[in-house]
Amino acid sequence: MALVLWLLAAAVAYHGVSRAVQFRKLLAQIRHHPGLRLVANLYGAVSFFVPFRIPYIIPGPNFLFKTKHALLARHGLDVVTSVSSHPLRAVFVVADPAILRDMTAARSRFPKPVAIYGTLSLYGPNIVASEHDEWKRYRRICSPSFSERNNRLVWEETVRVMTELFDLWADKDEIVDDDVVTLTVTIALYVISSAGFGQQISWKVGDERPEGYEMSFKDAIYYMSTGVFIKVATPAWLLNLGLTEKMRKTNTAFKELGMHMADMIKKRRESKEKEERFDLLNGLLDANEEEADLKLTDVELMGNIFIFLIAGHETSGHTLCYALALLALYPDEQEKLYQHIRTIQPPGELPRYEDLRNYTYAQDILSETLRMYPSVVGIPKIAADDTVVQTTNAAGETVDVFIPKGADIVFDTPGLHYNPKYWSDPYTFSPERFTRGDWPRDAYLPFSGGARACLGRRFAEIEIIAVLVLMVSRFTIHMEDDARRDSETETQRRDRLLKSSPGLTLTPKGVSLTFRRRK
C-alpha cells in the first residue's frame, strides 16, 4: 500500500513539474503578454459548469460579462491573454476596435474554429458551423431569404402575435409576470415559426398533431428550443434513457422536429400550385433551386433551417426581455419612447410597417440594450498564421502583441461595449447616445462584424421594435417595489434585478415585471 501511495505521489509530482515546464514555454511563446493565469481554461467545461470563481484556478461562468471592461482596465490594455494549465492553452482576449475591424475583415487569417460549433449541427451542416468555401456556399443560398418581403412579414406576424396576446389580457388592467423571459421567448418562437417556417402558430392555434406524431409542430419547436442545451450537453445514450420528463420531451421533440421539417420541405417541393410566400424556408428552397451548381442536400437544408430557428428565437427572446426590464428600471426612458410613439401612431391604431424607419427611439433603446447585454459575449476565432497586432496602453503608447499560429482568439464584446475610451458613462443606460450620429460604430459588435455578421440582424431588430412599440403604447412596465432600492446604486440594482447566466446566448434569469394598462 505504501508503495502504491509513493508511486501515485511521484506520478502527481512528475505531472506537476512537467506541466509547469510546458506552461512556462507557452508563456514564452506568447512573449509573456499580460492577462489571466489559471488552472482551468476560460472557455472550458469546468469554467462553464462550476457556479463560482476561484482566483487563479477557475474564472467562473460568464466571466467576460461579469468583469466587462475591468480585466482590460487592470492591465491597461485592450488585448490581454488568458493562459491555462489544464488544458494547456492560451487565449487572446481582444477588445480593441481597430484590431477587431481588421480581424473581421480578414476572414482567411482569422477563421472561426468550427469544431466547437459542431454541437449546433444537430440536423446537419449549417452556415454557423462552417468556414471558407463551405460557408460561402451556404451564405449564397441563405442570404436571399432575408429579403424586404420577409422583413414586412416579420413585422406583420409580430403584430398578429402581440394582438392575440393582448386579447388574452383583455379583461385585466394589471398583469404580473414572474418569469418574463418565458413570455418573450414564446413571442419570438411564434414569430420565427410563422415568418421563418410558414407555420402560423400562436397562443390560440397550432396544437394540431399530424397522424403518426406524438407532438404538434408547436410543441416540438417549443420543447426542442427550450431543451436544446440538454440535447447538446447530454450523450445520446443517456438522453435515450429518459431519466427525467424534460429529457424525454427533449428527445421526442428532437426526433419529431426533424420529421416536421422534412415534411415541410417535401410539401413545398411537391406543391402543384406555387404559393407566393415570403418566409425564410420558402426563400431558402427557392434560392436552392436557382443555384444548381451549389445546391444544398436535404440534410444541409435541415441544418440551416434549424439554425434559423435557434438563432431567430433565443437571441430575440432574451434581448427583448432585457429591453422590457430596462424600460421598467428607467421609467423616464419608457415615457420618452411612449411620447415618441404618439407622434407616429394615431391612438387606437396598430403600428404600420411603412412607419418602421420612424420608430427611431425604439431602435435606440434596442441598440443600447444590446450594448449593455450583448447576446454573444465572446466571439471565438483562431490565428491561421503568426501575426502581430498593435494596441495602445493606458499611457497611449503603442504595444506590439504577437499572436502565434493556432492561438485561440476571443472577441470580448462586453469589454468593448463597456470601454470608457469609446463610450461615455458606459455603465449608464442611455439610449440617447445612439440618437447622435457620432457614436463609435467600430466599438459596437452585438451581431459580430464583417462578412460573417449575423444574417438575421434585421429580422431580430424589426421583431423587437414592433414588440416594444406595441407593448409601450398599451401598457406601462414596472419592476417590483423593493425597500433595498434606496441603499443601492443604479448599477447594483440593475445587476440584482437583471441577473444573467451563460447559455447558447446571454440569458436573463428571474426577471419579474408588472404590465399596467394605460388609461
Annotated binding-site members for heme: 454
For 509, the 3-state DSSP assignment is strand
The enclosing H or E element of 92 equals strand 88-94
Cα–Cα distance measured from residue 145 to residue 493, given in angstroms and rounded to the nearest whole number: 41
Cα–Cα distance measured from residue 291 to residue 142, given in angstroms and rounded to the nearest whole number: 11
Phi-psi region of 480 (alpha: psi -120 to 50; beta: other; left: phi over 0): beta
**Segments of 321-403 assigned E as strands:** 378-382, 387-392, 398-403
The enclosing H or E element of 26 equals helix 2-29
CB 505 within 8 A of CB 374: no
Supply φ then ψ for residue 216, to 5 degrees: -70, 165
Q: Which residues contact 76 (CB under 8 A, 6 or more apart)?
A: 393, 394, 395
Q: Which residues are annotated as a binding site?
A: 454
CB 133 within 8 A of CB 330: no
Count of CB atoms within 10 A of residue 54's CB?
A: 12
CB 387 within 8 A of CB 108: no
Cis previous bond, 34, omega within 30:
no
Cis previous bond, 87, omega within 30:
yes
Q: Which residues contact 374 (CB under 8 A, 6 or more apart)?
A: 413, 414, 417, 445, 446, 506
Grid coordinates given for 377? 459575449
CA 73 to chain centre: 25
Q: Which residue has the cell 506590439?
A: 400
Cα–Cα distance measured from residue 218 to residue 309, given in angstroms and rounded to the nearest whole number: 13
Count of CB atoms within 10 A of residue 52's CB?
A: 7
Q: Which amino acid is at 418?
A: Y
Q: Which residues sit opposite 141 in a β-bridge? A: none
Phi-psi region of 217 (alpha: psi -120 to 50; beta: other; left: phi over 0): alpha
Cα–Cα distance measured from residue 29 to residue 461, given in angstroms and rounded to the nearest whole number: 43
Q: Which amino acid is at 203?
A: W
8-23 exposure pattern, b = at least 16 Cβ within 10 A, e = fewer: eeeeeeeeeeeeeeeb
For 40, the 3-state DSSP assignment is strand
